[in-house]
Amino acid sequence: MKPNLLAGLAALTVMTYLGQAASSAVEEPAYPEGYRRWTHVLSGVSNANFNRYEGLHNIYANSKAVEGYKSSGAFPDGSVIVFDLFEVVDKGGATVATRRKFIDVMVKDSKRYAATGGWGYTEFLGESRTERAFAQDKAPGCHGCHEAKAGRDAVLTRFKD
Ligand code: HEC
């Protein structure tokens, strides 16, 4: 009787542990299908001081995120913002975008990403729609900077008509 009881308890402990592990895994933000047809927010150029962010970036917002940019408050759930970064070369005085380095994505889901201010953060490398630079457990690194620097709902850029 005793050994059975112990085995039962051990099994229960393992199941509880697995249950916790499964429920704490946060779903990754999806690849932002079609974002190149979304609303262009702005573009910027960063030099080598910005390390891996050196290059030309274009920022796009889906329609929900445009609502967020135009409101004075928070971005609604379903907002998606994409930071699309390219390498640049100088061609006879013209700065020309060449290879896509990566895209950084923010997806608003106030329940799923409650731990990072309601924003899921991810990065897709180069032209890949599946290869990510990191898992959700690294998202607090993105959010820490956004939260500290941004005035409104962790979004740093402003929309100008
Ligand atoms: C050191 C600070 C810092 C970190 C860390 C950081 N960002 Fe940003 N992010 C910025 C700044 C500054 C901008 C605005 C760029 C501009 O004005 O053109 C920005 C803009 C963005 C935007 C466009 C929306 C907005 O907030 O304006 C997205 C999307 C984005 N970052 C995603 C990410 C992701 C994903 C990560 C983690 C891999 C990340 N960021 C890490 C500083 C940071």
| CATH number of the domain to which 84 belongs | 3.50.70.20
Q: What is the C-alpha separation between 11 and 14, in angstroms, rounded?
A: 5
- What is the distance in A from the centroid of ligand 1 to the CA of 95? 22
Residue 107's DSSP bridge partners are 80, 120
Mean pLDDT of 62-91: 96
Establish if 2 belongs to a structural domain: no
Mean predicted lDDT score pLDDT of the chain: 88
Residue 83's DSSP bridge partners are 59, 104
Establish if 10 belongs to a structural domain: no
Establish if 9 belongs to a structural domain: no
Confidence at residue 72, expressed as pLDDT on a 0 to 100 scale:
81
pLDDT band at 150; cut points 50, 70, 90: confident
Question: What three-state secondary structure class fits 106?
Answer: strand
pTM of this prediction? 0.88
Contact 65, 75 (CB under 8 A): yes
State the total domains in the chain. 1
Establish if 69 belongs to a structural domain: yes
Establish if 156 belongs to a structural domain: no
Pocket lined around ligand 1, Cβ cut-off 6 Å: 44, 59, 81-83, 104-106, 121-123, 141-142, 145-146, 149, 155-157
Q: What is the C-alpha separation between 123 and 132, in angstroms, rounded?
A: 5
Atom 13, ligand 1: which residue's CA is nearest?
A: 156
Establish if 160 belongs to a structural domain: no
Confidence at residue 5, expressed as pLDDT on a 0 to 100 scale:
47
What is the domain extent for residue 123? 27-149
Confidence at residue 2, expressed as pLDDT on a 0 to 100 scale:
52
pLDDT over 90 (residue 147): yes
User: How much of the chain exceeds pLDDT 90, in percent?
Assistant: 78
pLDDT over 60 (residue 86): yes
Mean pLDDT of 115-138: 95
